[in-house]
């Protein structure tokens, strides 16, 4: 990788180039073509990872600061300045190091000299401690290389004393530089464009609605304003909070926690991060790069991912990289881990707050069921099929009597209907339910992941063919006043999660073959359900309590 070090306000008359390598990058030959006279054209020294192009004699009008420090003697000839370079001191990885970053590597120091290894030596002291140096002989000079990593992680600035020595011990040239140990990390992450969701309990045994909005922090350490403990040691990364019923910060006053974020398939992801740094730096996640003002700053960043085009629960790591004030990459990175609940669309739920119920946000406990059962579904039809089968076969439910709904108005003409979803999740009234319970539960579970699936109210008064209710081993004929099923497309196709029809072609007699009611045309469903098919009398979404 090429690094450009700019000399400002120089008039360069002659540049003699020496290569401290026997090979050239970027497809160059081993004997590169010498550049043309650079007068009035170039003010740049190029420094490669292993190839260094260094001026040995520069005739300058004015000497100003450059990013790479040089050893030089100054001579005055006819009112001009002749600078003779003895070498270049280069901090390859930048002058800021943070031991708090993952995979942070030692700082690499390089001294490049046009003298031969037999005539010159070098030393580097960091904070008074000597840095061991490797001497690398080159045909056109010598390179001294050393590595340094701090023992003390506390923020500190160290003075670097760099010396070129003759072999008799006399100092040929010396310079002073600095290197900084910085405390750099992230203490909070908030997913600012995520979908709000609900924990339906504030702690075990206490039902409440705890809304996690896009302004509530999803990931936090150190109470959100530190990355170290009282002794200055790095804080451990927070473990993922596994309860989907209640949040960590309501149950126990947690300084450190990690809760999920909810997104729609294909969404971009934006975050607000609190960055800790005692130095002025820049932070990036791979898309945006933002300045950070010490000691604590809040920045908004886009994350370089697009969520999968399928629903599910996904792990994702956010990698924060940092640059010093000169925009040199600081070694290492800070990595936070997160869990995303990926749903189809905005939730299709009623706002039930006027009736003492839930805001129109998905319940995390419901999404945990949804996305476990329907994991990987790429379209709503796949998800509804998975969801219906799970409700019918996997939850241990039993068709019997009403337990989890109530309604306003007469039974045959509801004004509105309410689903006690929290009671159902806890099976507070047992596992027995009837058709309207199941239809409204099905509607709520689908609506949580963005699928519109209202109940179709069928009636009034009819007798069924033999059917097999959820949890039943045998086939039974019923006389019903009404029945509840579901449809995602205004009655074109229907789902029934409380019963199986007889699929042998003759529903009136045995043998009986289970026919799962998944996306059946309404007319096929009705004539297989009853010899005197009911009609649709109403369409309902539940108010969730």
| pLDDT tens by residue, 313-354 | 999 999 999 999 988 899 999 999 999 999 999 999 999 999
483 bridge partner residues:
458
User: Which pLDDT band holds residue 197 (cuts at 50, 70, 90)?
Assistant: very high
Q: What is the pLDDT of residue 436?
A: 97
Q: Which residue has the tokens 């809304």?
A: 211
Q: What is the pLDDT of residues 288-308, one digit of tens each?
A: 899 999 999 999 999 988 788
301 bridge partner residues:
271
pLDDT higher at 129 or 44: 129
Domains and CATH numbers, the chain: 3-176 (no CATH), 184-343 (no CATH), 353-544 (3.10.620)
Q: What is the pLDDT of residue 59?
A: 31
Closest CA to 320 of 162, 104, 129: 104
146 bridge partner residues:
109, 133
**How far apart are the two ends of the chain, measured CA to CA in Å?**
61
- Tokens representing 220 are 């936090």
418, HSE (Cβ side, Cα atoms, 13 Å): 15
What CA–CA distances, in Å, run from 227 to 116, 188, 294? 47, 10, 14
Using a cut of 0.85, tell me whether the model's pTM lies above it.
no
- Judged by DSSP in three states, 272 sits in strand
Q: What is the pLDDT of residue 40?
A: 28
Rounded Cα–Cα distance for residues 460 and 481 (Å): 5
Q: DSSP label at 421? A: H
Buried b (16+ CB within 10 A) or exposed e, 427-454: eeeeebbbbbbbbbbbbbbbbbbbbebb
* Burial of 382 (C-beta count, 10 Å sphere; 0-12/13-18/19+): middle
Range from 73-82, 83-92, 534-543 carrying the lowest mean pLDDT: 73-82
């Amino acid at each position: 990788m090429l690094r450009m070090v700019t000399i400002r306000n120089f008039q360069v008359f002659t540049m003699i180039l020496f290569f401290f390598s026997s090979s050239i990058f970027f497809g160059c030959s081993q004997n590169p073509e010498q550049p043309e006279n650079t007068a009035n054209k170039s003010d740049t020294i190029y420094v490669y990872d292993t190839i260094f192009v260094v001026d040995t004699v520069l005739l300058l009008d004015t000497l100003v600061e450059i990013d790479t420090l040089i050893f030089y003697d100054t001579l005055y000839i006819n009112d001009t300045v002749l600078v003779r370079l003895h070498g270049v001191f280069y901090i390859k990885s930048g002058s800021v190091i943070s031991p708090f970053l993952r995979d942070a590597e030692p700082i690499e120091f390089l001294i490049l000299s046009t003298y031969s290894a037999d005539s010159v030596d070098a030393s580097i002291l960091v904070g008074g401690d000597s840095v061991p140096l490797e001497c690398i002989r080159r045909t056109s000079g010598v390179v001294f290389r050393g590595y340094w990593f701090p023992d003390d992680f506390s923020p500190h600035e160290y003075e670097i004393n760099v010396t070129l020595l003759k072999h008799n011990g006399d100092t040929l040239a010396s310079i002073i530089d600095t290197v900084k140990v910085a405390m750099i990390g992230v203490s909070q992450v908030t997913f600012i464009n995520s979908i709000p969701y609900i924990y339906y309990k504030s702690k075990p045994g206490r039902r409440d609605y705890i809304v996690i909005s896009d302004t509530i922090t999803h990931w936090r350490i150190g109470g959100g304003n530190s990355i170290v403990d009282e002794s200055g040691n790095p804080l451990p990364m927070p473990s993922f909070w596994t309860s989907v019923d209640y949040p960590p910060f309501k149950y126990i006053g947690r300084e450190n926690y990690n809760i999920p974020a909810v997104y729609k398939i294909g969404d971009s992801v934006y975050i607000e991060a609190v960055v800790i740094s005692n130095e002025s730096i820049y932070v990036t996640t791979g898309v945006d790069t933002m300045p950070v003002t010490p000691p604590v700053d809040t920045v908004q960043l886009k994350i370089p991912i697009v969520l999968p085009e399928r629903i599910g629960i996904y792990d994702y790591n956010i990698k924060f990289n940092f640059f010093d004030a000169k925009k040199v990459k600081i070694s290492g990175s800070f990595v936070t881990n997160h869990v995303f609940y990926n749903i189809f669309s905005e939730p299709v739920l009623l706002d039930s707050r006027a009736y003492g119920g839930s805001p129109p946000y998905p319940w995390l406990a419901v999404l945990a069921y949804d996305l476990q059962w329907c994991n990987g579904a790429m379209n709503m039809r796949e998800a509804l099929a998975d969801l219906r089968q799970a409700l019918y076969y996997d939850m241990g439910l039993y068709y019997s009597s009403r337990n989890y709904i109530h309604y306003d108005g007469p039974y045959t003409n509801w004004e509105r209907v309410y689903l006690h979803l929290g009671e159902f999740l806890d099976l507070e009234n047992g596992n027995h339910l009837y058709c309207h319970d199941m239809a409204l539960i099905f509607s709520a579970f689908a609506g949580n992941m963005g699928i519109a699936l209202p109940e179709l109210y069928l009636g009034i008064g009819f007798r069924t063919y033999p059917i097999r209710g959820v949890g039943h081993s045998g086939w039974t004929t019923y006389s019903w006043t009404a029945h509840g099923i579901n449809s995602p497309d205004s009655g074109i196709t229907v789902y029934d999660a409380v019963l199986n029809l007889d699929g042998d072609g003759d529903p009136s007699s045995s043998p009986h073959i289970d026919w799962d009611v998944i996306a059946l045309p309404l007319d096929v469903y009705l004539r297989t359900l009853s010899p005197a098919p009911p009609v649709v009398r109403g369409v309902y979404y539940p108010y969730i309590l």
